[in-house]
Structure 1
Amino acid sequence: MQLQPVLLLLSLPGCVSIQGPESVRGLEGGSVTVQCHYTPGWETYKKWWCRGAYWKSCDILVQTEGSEQEVKRDHVSIRDNQRQHLLTVTMKEVRQSDTDTYWCGISKPGPDLGAPIKVTIDPGGAASLQSRTTTSGRAGTSSGSYIRCV
């Protein structure tokens, strides 16, 4: 049996990753939820959600405190399910101007870990919002990840 290269890489000691959807879409006025998975060992580290094309210089919008407690800031919330290694970010009352590249990330000594997600907000009216207010990062998207071995 041959292992996929990514699975082999993740099984090596010292390799860590965080992975999210490549892109998500939402309707103006609604909400967008993104879920990012991370490898075991990073449960108590702070996780963050930032906006900007380059993760090293992006603007952190919200960040956990290393616990499972939900943190809200403006129209953005973040929650870390440490048992499932799952980071969930929800952006509410989104506007077309929210269309951008965002990052799920883990704060750690040295360079942080991050996974880019392209968020696109489409124009929408009240009628269309009733049928589709949330776009999850899990539906109909491919995954993108940033992997670093330390």
Structure 2
Amino acid sequence: MWLSPALLLLSLPGCFSIQGPKSVKGLEQGSVSVQCRYDPGWESYRKWWCQGKSWDFCTILIESKGSEEEVKKGRLSIRDNHRDRVFTVTIEPLHRGDAGTYWCGIRKSGPDLGFQVKVTVGTGRNLLILWEETTSTTPTAQSLEPLAMSSTSYGRTHFILLVFVKVPILLILLGAILWLKGSQRVPEVQ
């Protein structure tokens, strides 16, 4: 049936292929590492880490070279593990001003893929609170939430794909089906 491939196309697997922790916590003068996972096929692409509340005005702080080679820039480092399909960004030493909204992303043609991560920096005063929160949950419990649920970039990317790719292709396929059905009609004999 012609319509099944069209419906499968609407899901466009691989469009939302990056995920990471919703938030991470670290102590001032310590370090914090963020692991962002990606789907197969993105191994050789450049990975990046940027800062900003909005995806549109995010400033890229560090970017990988598309290889597994570690890149360092000031207090930041980024390393991509192609086998496990995860790249790790580390900030060390952590300063109080590092707290905020960041994005881990994959550079590609068209809109980049990205995932929002909140970084919280604790000081000596809230050391005990951060320690209790960190030890009461395992790293896996700090939910690797899918992009669809936590990032505004999903909405923007999905809208762009919907308007410029999915809807036109679906309309073309629907028109082709209707044209084929119309050309298969047998003329009536009078």
Band the TM-score falls in, shorter-chain normalisation? 0.7 to 0.9
Q: Specify the alignment match of 2:71 in structure 1.
A: 71
Q: Which has the higher contact order (CA 8 A, sep 6+)?
A: 1
Q: Looking at CA atoms only, which structure, 1 or 2, has the larger radius of gyration? A: 2
Q: Does the 8 A contact of 1:96 with 1:121 survive in 2? A: yes
Cα offset, 1:45, TM superposition: 0.5
Q: Does the 8 A contact of 1:34 with 1:138 survive in 2? A: no
Unaligned 5+ segments in structure 1 are 1-10
> How many residue pairs were aligned?
135
RMSD value over aligned CA atoms?
2.7
Q: Does the 8 A contact of 2:14 with 2:39 survive in 1? A: no
Q: Does the 8 A contact of 1:38 with 1:86 survive in 2? A: yes
Q: Specify the alignment match of 2:83 in structure 1.
A: 83
Q: Is the aligned partner of 1:142 residue 2:143? A: yes
Q: Distance in 2 between matches of 1:76 and 1:33?
A: 10
Q: Distance in 2 between matches of 1:86 and 1:123?
A: 29
Q: Does the 8 A contact of 2:104 with 2:114 survive in 1? A: yes
> Helix, strand or coil: the match of 1:124?
coil
Q: Distance in 2 between matches of 1:16 and 1:23?
A: 19
Report the TM-score when normalising by structure 1. 0.79
Q: Distance in 1 between matches of 2:22 and 2:13?
A: 26
Query: Relative to 1, partners in 2 of residues 1:113 and 1:24: Cα closer, same or farther, differing over 3 Å?
Result: same
Cα offset, 1:108, TM superposition: 0.4
Please state which structure has a larger fraction of its residues in helix: 2
Report the TM-score when normalising by structure 2. 0.63
